[in-house]
Structure 1
C-alpha cells in the first residue's frame, strides 16, 4: 500500500474512529486500525466485536492494498504533525508515515486475524444531526456510569411515528427527549451504550441515518458509519413511574435557580442534599450542616398549588436545570417521596423532560 493524503484530513478521521472504537487493550488486533486503499481513496475502519466504525477519505493512491496497524499510535502521530501532506507506504513489516523532513514507522499487525467491518443494517429513518446532538448532550449524560449495572448505562432509542424518543436513567433521575424523526420502512427500539452516543453527539453533522436489525444498530452521516451491539431496553420507560399526582407547579428562571443551587450547595452535608421550600412568590433553597455551616437563597417564582419542601441532591438538580439555560422552567412537584418533573415553559425542537427523585431532607442542628 502506498498513498498520499492531506495530513489534517487523515488525522481527524483517525481520531474520530479511535474515539468511537477505543479498542481492546488485551487484544492488539482489536485495537488496530484497518486501512484499505483503492482507486476511490482510503477507508479507515475499526472493530472490537461490539462496535465498529468506518470512514472514507479522499487520497491519491499510488498502490492499492490493506494493512492493520496500532490505532492510537497512528492517530497520535498524525495529530502531532504540522506538515500539510503525509505519505503512508508499506516498507517490509512496517507502515512508514512520511512527511517532509520526518519518517515514523508502525509495526504491521496480522490483517487476517481482524474481523473486518460488515455492512450495516439498512436505514430505518433519519434525524437532524443538530437536534440529535442537542438531545444526546442531556440524555446520554443521565445514564449510569457503573459498568456493574450495564442495563443502566445505555440510552433507549425508540421511534414513535414521526418522533424519535431518547430515554436514559441511572435509577435516581431520568431524561426523556423527543425530537422530529423522518420515518423509513421499519421502527427502532434499542438500548445503545450511552458513552458511544455521547461521542457520536460530538461528531455528527448534516443528517443522521439510523438503522437496526436483530442485534445491531447503525448510525451514518457524511462519510462515517458506526454500528453497535444492542440490548433489550424495553424495561426503560417512564410509565413505571407515578407521574400524575402533581399538587404544586413552580415556574422560575432556570439560570437564576441553577446559580442559587450551586451557591447553596457549597454548604451541604456529605450527601449533598438541599431543600427547596416553596412559598407564595418565591422558592427558598436551604441547607445546613454542623461541619460546613448553613446557607439559604431565594429565587422569585410563580407558584400554582400548595406549599411544599422537597429535598434533592444538589448535583442532580443542577444537571436537570443545565439543558434549560436561558429559559424559564416549570417544576411539577408531587407529594411525598415521588418524582419531580422539570420541563421548559416554552417548547423547542427538543421536547425535554427531566425527572428527578427527591431525597430525605438534610439534617439540621
Structure 2
C-alpha cells in the first residue's frame, strides 16, 4: 500500500478520488500493484484509500483475509478485524490509457539511481513547474536525465535495451523519484511508455502513471562549460565529512571556501569576527591556484549525489560554474553523471 498511498489526492474532497482502485484526474502519479494471493471469488472493490493504508500498516504479522459483507469491505488478520464502507465503482474515473506514442525499456535499478541523483538539482517548489521536473531525453540507445533549479544542474545517462527514435518528456521530479524506488527493489527491466499527457512505468507485477509537465525544457547544455583548465581530484567521503563539519559555522548563507593549492585543498568557513573553522585535504590539483565559495548546503547536496570513491571538481574560474564528476579509486572519471554548481559571487578573501 505504501507506493499507492503516496498517490492519493490530499486536496480532493470527493472520497472516490482518494480510493486505491485507480487514480483521480487531479493526481500526478497513479500506481498499480499486482499481488499473489488465493482468490475464492473474483470481483472489484473500491474503498477509502488513506484509511486502508493506515490499517494495513498497523496489522499484526500473519495472513490477511479480504472480503465483502453487504456494503462493507472487511479486513481480517489474526484477531484484528476492520471494515470500511464500499464506494460506488460507477463514479470512479475511467482508467483506459490511449495507445503509446513512444516506448522504451531499461534496467530499473540504474534508472532509479539516475533519477535519485538528478532530482537533487530540481526545484523544491512549483513556482516554475518545469524547474520542479526532470527532463527525459531519449535518443538511440540511451536516455539523458536533466534537472535544474537555476543554481545547480544534474545530468545523468542510462542505457536502453534497444534503439529508439528521439523524443523528450518532462515529469515531476518528486513523483518520479517516489515511484521508481519500488521498481528498483523489484529488479529487472522497467518499461516506459509515453502518451500525450502521461508517462507509464511498468514491469511484470507493478504499474504506475505520471502526468507529464508542459515543455519544452530549457537548453540546459549551455550551462555546462566547454573548457575547464583547473581541476582537482579528492577523496569524496573525506570532502563530504569536512564540509559537513564546517557547516556548523556556515549556517544559512555563510559560504564555505575551497582553496586549491599545490597538492592540497583547504576548506574553510566563518570569519575572524565570528565562529570559524578550517581543514586541509590531500588531492591532485592541476592548473592555476583557485579560491572559490559555495553555499554549504548546495555543496553538500552535490557531493552526496555521488557514490564514487573520488570526486573531480573542474573550473573555468572562481565565478564560473563548477563541474563535478565521479571517479574511481584510480582517479578515472565516470561519465554517467555530472553535477554543475554555481559558486557564490563574493569578493575573494
CA distance in 1, matches of 2:274, 2:3: 44
Conserved in 2, the CA contact under 8 Å of 1:340 and 1:358?
yes
For residues 89 and 225 of structure 2, what CA distance do their matches in structure 1 show? 54
3-state DSSP class of the match of 1:331?
strand
- Separation in structure 1 between the aligned mates of residue 347 and residue 317 of structure 2, nearest angstrom: 18
CA positional deviation for 1:139: 1.1
- Cα displacement string for residues 151-205 of structure 1 (whole angstroms, at most 9, x for unaligned residues): 1111111112111111111111111111111235554411111111111232112
- 2:50 counterpart residue number: 72
Instruction: Note if contact 2:9-2:24 (Cα within 8 Å) is conserved in structure 1.
Output: yes
Q: CA deviation at 1:232?
A: 3.5
Please tell me whether the aligned partners of residues 267 and 295 of structure 1 are also in contact (alpha carbons under 8 angstroms): yes
Q: What is the match of residue 114 of structure 2?
A: 135
Confirm whether residue 278 of structure 1 aligns to residue 249 of structure 2: no
Paired residues, number: 339
Q: CA deviation at 1:90?
A: 1.8
Indicate the residue corresponding to 1:63 in structure 2. 41
Residue 7 (structure 1) aligns with: none
Give the counterpart of 2:11 among 25, 29, 33: 25
Alignment match, 2:341: 356
The answer to whether the 8 A contact 1:47-1:53 is kept is no
Contact 1:121 1:211 in 2 (8 A): no
CA displacement 1:52-91 (0-9 Å, x = unmatched):
2222223333333222111121122122222522222222
Q: Give 1:233 deviation, angstroms.
A: 4.0
Does structure 1 residue 265 correspond to structure 2 residue 247?
yes
2:120·2:302 contact (CA, 8 Å) conserved in 1?
no
**Alpha-carbon contact 1:272-1:315 (below 8 Å) kept:** no
Residue 120 of structure 2 aligns to a residue whose secondary structure is: helix
**Deviation of the 1:235 alpha carbon:** 2.4
Give the one of 313, 323, 329 matched to 1:331.
Answer: 313
Aligned positions of 1:9-158 closer than 5 A: 14-19=1-6, 21-26=7-12, 27-34=14-21, 45-49=22-26, 50-119=28-97, 121-122=99-100, 124-158=103-137
Q: Does residue 150 of structure 2 align to residue 171 of structure 1?
A: yes
| Structure 1, unpaired ranges of 5+ | 1-13, 35-44
> Is the 2:120–2:305 contact (alpha carbons within 8 Å) kept by the matching residues of 1?
no
Does the 8 A contact of 2:308 with 2:326 survive in 1? Answer: no
Match of 1:305 in 2: 287
234-243 or 248-257: which moved more?
Answer: 234-243
Deviation (angstroms), 1:227: 1.2
**Corresponding residue for 1:250?**
232
Contact 2:230-2:316 within 8 A present in 1 as well: yes
TM-aligned CA deviation for residue 347 of structure 1: 4.7
- TM-score, normalised by the number of residues in structure 2: 0.89
Q: How much does 1:287 deviate?
A: 1.8
CA distance in 2, matches of 1:119, 1:223: 18
Q: Is the 2:139–2:164 Cα contact (8 Å) retained in structure 1?
A: no
Q: 1:216 Cα deviation (Å)? A: 1.4
Equivalent pair of 1:273/1:312 in contact (CA under 8 Å): yes
Whether the 8 Å CA contact 2:201–2:208 is kept in 1: the answer is yes
Q: Against the structure 1 CA distance between its residues 220 and 292, is the aligned structure 2 distance closer, same or farther, given a 3 Å change threshold?
A: farther
What are the equivalent positions in structure 2 for 1:176-255 lying under 5 Å apart? Answer: 176-183=155-162, 186-204=165-183, 205-241=187-223, 243-255=225-237
Q: Are the aligned partners of 2:145 and 2:155 in contact in 1 as well (CA < 8 Å)?
A: yes
Give me the TM-score of the superposition, normalised by structure 1.
0.85
Report the CA distance shift for 1:254/1:60 in structure 2 as closer, same or farther (over 3 A): same
Structure 2 segments unaligned to the other structure (5+ residues): none
**2: CA distance, partners of 1:105 / 1:362:** 66
